Structure 1
Amino acid sequence: MLNVGATGGAVWGRSEQQDFRSRVRGTMLGAAVGDALGAPVDAMGLAEIREAYGAEGLVDLGVGYGRRGAVTHLTQLALFTVDGLIRAQVRRDTGAWHPPTDLHRAYLRWAATQRDWGPDERRKEDGWLAREEWLYARRDPARSLIVGFGDEMMGTLDAPKNPGEAGPEAAARSGPFGLLVGWEPQLVAQLAIECAAQTHGHPVGYLSAGAYAVIVHALACGDSLDGAVQRALALLAARPGHETVSQALQHALGAVRQGMPAPGRVEELMGAATADGVLAAAVYCALVGEDVRHGLCLSVNHDGPSGATAALTGGLLGALHGETALPPAWLAELEGRPTILELADDFAMEMTQGPALHGPAGSAPGWLARYPRG
């Protein structure tokens, strides 16, 4: 898709810009649609899902948090990941460049949405996303997230927050790291891993986040899903403690050849519903789905965490196929869709035209108001 040089410099043609924007939109909308599809049944087992929705299980958006198409904390945090990545690029011009810190600041802005009644218009340094009123809704965030972002202290790989936490929430916010297509894959993995350690200090938790980001990165650069997983496996091999995550991904690839897709196979891959199993289940659903709708439905109809599995699945399918492959009827009812599209397009513009927006040669004041350097 993109001609990326050895130093990470990118040469963008018009068609490449359009393709990239479609994949950015696809990744973000796909993850959000998956999250919304899985939210109403996230705490339900397969038998309960079938009792509530029929023998085929859930095959359409259901009602969650009082409406159809409602998203959870997984989508909220993914949006703040994108916001943090844009802010990191803007701050790069100042010479004070440390992306994990910028991401941590973005996640603290998310944490404020979980405490406050609404945005504080006086805090211009928060940027536009933190002023979106619909984000000020508490959607069952995991305790690891509340604890991880409960104070100003940033978790690191040397001193991670929640060192025993191996859940899938960090992976579910890590798709946007993969959209840094001008970066080398190992740097994408490193950033995703470091940022995951801010809430998920177990190697399974943060390595799964890194693996997911690398898979999205390969897809956004035009690779196949199988090839993208192979790239992630190659990068994981150099990481201490990678064995559990690597084995889960290998099992996902092997399960594709084991007959017709079924909830039992998804549950087998998922295991104890830690990040490695949820990632493996999502990869499997994305690989075997006849189309995006089928893959997403497969990812929610089982006994495990439907929201996280479907969010990961939707991000993969959106990165692979672009936004036009996503079910239009589901997108029409998706909570926050205008915000997601606006943020996605801002990210695509930053990645392709950043120097013109805030480089040394000139800047757009409106852009710096939306994404302050402070």
Structure 2
Amino acid sequence: MQTINERFRGCLIGGAIGDALGWPVEFLRLDEIKRKYGTQGITNLVKGRSNLVEITDDTQMTIFTAEGLLRAENRGRNKGIAHIPSVVHRSYLRWLNTQGVGNDVEKDGWIHSIKALHTRRAPGNTCLDALISGRMGTMEEPLNNSKGCGGVMRTAPIGLVFKKEEAFKLGCESAAITHGHPSGYLSAGALSYIIAAIIEGINLEIAVEQALEECKKYPSNQECSTLIEKAITLVKSDKPVIQAIESLGEGWVGEEALAISIYSALKYQDDFEKAVFTAVNHNGDSDSTGAITGNILGAYLGINGIPQNWVSDVELSKELSQLADDLVKTYEDSEEWHQKYPGW
């Protein structure tokens, strides 16, 4: 049995590892990946120009999602009220500031002070444009019609903190801050639900099936639901892995990224390495599908189910461990905590 701390650490660090594994091949076609890394594709973490095994904007924004949740809890406890999506939105504005875009958001808390986060790793244009707009998107009043995977790739921490149905709704709301198409935010809700179900001790297949049923309760769910169903069916088929993933898409949009990740995680649910190899070696958005798969299986297998050399090598591993442990606590009435996660 995994402890709760091991599952939380596994989720955040597993996501960072999948992100880092896919980052060097994000914009390569599969044949290009094989030419560069061999017939099996990329199978190990690669150091980038900074001589680090680099994370991307996927993990950066996941970190700021977690920060927003902890700030919202602090605010709710001390001020009696906290609209969680609004607090998360302000955390995303802090991320925007780390990307070199000036704004008047509070620059306090320990996350913004992590120097390594103040670097651009191919941030998504939709996220940048939506946050620069000065408005906060919602499901009811969307900023755009984007269903890019920039919403789903950052919402795993919501499933660590909230129960399943609440996690689904809040995952949707957090993604809708920047992505207005239903498939852009329902995929995020589904991921948050899957993580929450795993934390509750539910079997992975059942967690996915329950998330699918929850998704079907929301308007305009057909596109997302259909692709989740297809991923489940493909796992049970004898279709070759590469062809199965190709039939699910390339992962640039939310429902495809989620479906590829669900397929990879279910196909190799007892083998973190095989699952993330599968998730990144394809024609599409390899770092996002790697990150989401890593979030799911990291939560499922726990930190001890991930190769320890990967855990120690990935960028910001220590900080992610600390953040995971803080998410387990959720709140601490101490001056140090108030400095780390100010409830503005």
Report the TM range for the smaller structure's normalisation: over 0.9
Question: How much has 1:317 moved relative to structure 2?
Answer: 0.2
User: Counterparts of 2:115 and 2:54 in 1: how far apart (Å)?
Assistant: 14
- 2:47 aligned partner, one-letter code: V
Question: How much has 1:263 moved relative to structure 2?
Answer: 1.6
The equivalent of 1:279 in structure 2 is 258
Matches within 5 A, 1:279-298: 279-289=258-268, 291-298=271-278
- 2:98 aligned partner, one-letter code: T
Larger deviation, residues 265-274 vs 308-317: 265-274
Are the equivalent residues in 2 in contact too, given 1:252–1:280 (CA < 8 A)? yes
The equivalent of 2:145 in structure 1 is 164
Larger radius of gyration: 1
What do the CA deviations read for 1:93-143 (whole angstroms, capped 9, x no partner)? Answer: 2112110111001100000000169xx9xx986211100111000111010
Identity of aligned residues (%): 35
Matches within 5 A, 1:293-312: 293-312=273-292
Are the equivalent residues in 2 in contact too, given 1:34–1:311 (CA < 8 A)? yes
Check if 1:105 corresponds to 2:90. yes
The equivalent of 2:58 in structure 1 is 74
Are the equivalent residues in 2 in contact too, given 1:261–1:288 (CA < 8 A)? no
Q: How many aligned residue pairs are there? A: 341
The equivalent of 1:57 in structure 2 is 41
User: Counterparts of 2:300 and 2:342 in 1: how far apart (Å)?
Assistant: 32
SS in structure 1 at match of 2:287: helix
User: Counterparts of 1:197 and 1:340 in 2: how far apart (Å)?
Assistant: 25
Are the equivalent residues in 1 in contact too, given 2:17–2:311 (CA < 8 A)? yes
Check if 1:213 corresponds to 2:197. no
The equivalent of 2:338 in structure 1 is 368
Question: How much has 1:270 moved relative to structure 2?
Answer: 2.3
User: Counterparts of 1:70 and 1:218 in 2: how far apart (Å)?
Assistant: 29
Are the equivalent residues in 2 in contact too, given 1:74–1:308 (CA < 8 A)? yes
Q: Which structure carries more relative contact order (alpha carbon 8 Å, separation 6+)? A: 2
SS in structure 2 at match of 1:70: coil
Give the alignment's TM-score, normalised by structure 2: 0.95
Question: How much has 1:19 moved relative to structure 2?
Answer: 1.5
User: Counterparts of 2:253 and 2:237 in 1: how far apart (Å)?
Assistant: 23
Where does structure 2 lack aligned partners over 5 or more consecutive residues?
Answer: none
The equivalent of 1:154 in structure 2 is 136
User: Counterparts of 2:318 and 2:106 in 1: how far apart (Å)?
Assistant: 21
Larger deviation, residues 286-295 vs 131-140: 286-295
The equivalent of 1:145 in structure 2 is 127
Question: How much has 1:63 moved relative to structure 2?
Answer: 3.5
Question: How much has 1:68 moved relative to structure 2?
Answer: 4.4
The equivalent of 1:96 in structure 2 is 81
Check if 1:318 corresponds to 2:314. no
User: Counterparts of 1:373 and 1:273 in 2: how far apart (Å)?
Assistant: 34
SS in structure 2 at match of 1:131: coil
Where does structure 1 lack aligned partners over 5 or more consecutive residues?
Answer: 1-14, 359-363
Check if 1:179 corresponds to 2:160. yes
Question: How much has 1:261 moved relative to structure 2?
Answer: 4.7
User: Counterparts of 2:279 and 2:299 in 1: how far apart (Å)?
Assistant: 17
User: Counterparts of 1:57 and 1:315 in 2: how far apart (Å)?
Assistant: 21
Give the alignment's TM-score, normalised by structure 1: 0.87
Matches within 5 A, 1:190-269: 190-259=169-238, 261-269=240-248
SS in structure 1 at match of 2:112: helix
Question: How much has 1:56 moved relative to structure 2?
Answer: 1.0
Are the equivalent residues in 1 in contact too, given 2:145–2:181 (CA < 8 A)? yes
What do the CA deviations read for 1:1-43 (whole angstroms, capped 9, x no partner)? Answer: xxxxxxxxxxxxxx9xx72111111110010000000000000
Tell me which stretches of 4 or more aligned residues in structure 1 moved more than 6 Å: none
Distance 1:283 1:275, change over 3 A: same
- 2:31 aligned partner, one-letter code: A
- 1:165 aligned partner, one-letter code: S
User: Counterparts of 1:133 and 1:261 in 2: how far apart (Å)?
Assistant: 43
The equivalent of 2:320 in structure 1 is 340
Question: How much has 1:273 moved relative to structure 2?
Answer: 3.6
User: Counterparts of 1:255 and 1:233 in 2: how far apart (Å)?
Assistant: 15
- 1:313 aligned partner, one-letter code: T
SS in structure 1 at match of 2:132: coil
What do the CA deviations read for 1:53-88 (whole angstroms, capped 9, x no partner)? Answer: 011111111233443410000000000000000001
- 2:321 aligned partner, one-letter code: L
Across the aligned residues of Structure 1 and Structure 2, the Cα RMSD in angstroms comes to 1.9
Are the equivalent residues in 2 in contact too, given 1:192–1:210 (CA < 8 A)? yes
Matches within 5 A, 1:128-143: 128-143=110-125
SS in structure 2 at match of 1:130: coil
The equivalent of 1:19 in structure 2 is 3
Are the equivalent residues in 2 in contact too, given 1:116–1:136 (CA < 8 A)? no
User: Counterparts of 2:251 and 2:298 in 1: how far apart (Å)?
Assistant: 26
Are the equivalent residues in 2 in contact too, given 1:78–1:173 (CA < 8 A)? yes
